[in-house]
Amino acid sequence: MTVTELRPPAVTVRELRPGETEVLDAVFAGLSDRSRYLRFHGATPRLTGAVRRHLTAVDGRRHLAVAAHGPQGEPIGIARLVSLGLRDAELGIEVVDAWQGRGIGRRLLTAVAARGREERYTRLVADVLTENTGMRVLLASVLPILSVESDGPETTLVADLRAALPTRITALARAAA
């Protein structure tokens, strides 16, 4: 199966604007308890006001995010980079359960990585639960992994944003923008 076969044609990806809480809320509502656990590293039945404000406080430089929308414009995923200082950024991705396994995570990661490069980030840091094989495989399939460190239930992957994306992935990022 090729990447283009995975890409649903009616899905759009665009940069998230500051304060778009409705997008965040819709994606969070579409996550199962298991998906919330894998994304937030614990039981997260709801997002507190402070967390919601933080996750929607995008500025396009130190905190940038892209959102995927389905055929009827419904939010189906978000990927974000948050600056960790100079040239490192932390990665977070969530895709609603109904759309998982359909290439949405790859499109989001590709789009947010392209934006990260534009902002001159060189390394992407992802703290994932070690059991979250899907996220670990996704990241390694899109970007070269520089290091992997496990500490108990969490694994930190550091990926190189300076490496050129494969041509087919680059084309997806352009289509997603």
Please give the distance of CA 77 from its chain centroid, rounded to a whole number.
8
Residue 168 has pLDDT above 80, yes or no: no
Q: What are the structural domains of the chain? A: 3-171 (3.40.630.30)
**Helix 133-142 and helix 104-118: axis angle, to 10°?**
50
Confidence at residue 164, expressed as pLDDT on a 0 to 100 scale: 60
State how far the Cα of 154 lies from the Cα of 109, in Å rounded to an integer. 20
Please, which residues bridge with residue 75 across strands? 69
Instruction: Tell me the percentage of the chain whose pLDDT exceeds 70.
Output: 87
Q: Is the pLDDT of residue 78 over 80?
A: yes
Confidence of residue 9 (pLDDT cuts 50, 70, 90): low
Question: Rounded to an integer, what is the distance from CA 64 to the centroid of its chain?
Answer: 10
Mean pLDDT of all residues in 46-70: 93
Mean pLDDT of the chain: 87
- Which residues are CB-neighbours of 136 under 8 A, at least 6 positions away? 128, 155, 157
pLDDT of residue 84: 96
96: nearest Cα among 105, 85, 84, 87: 105
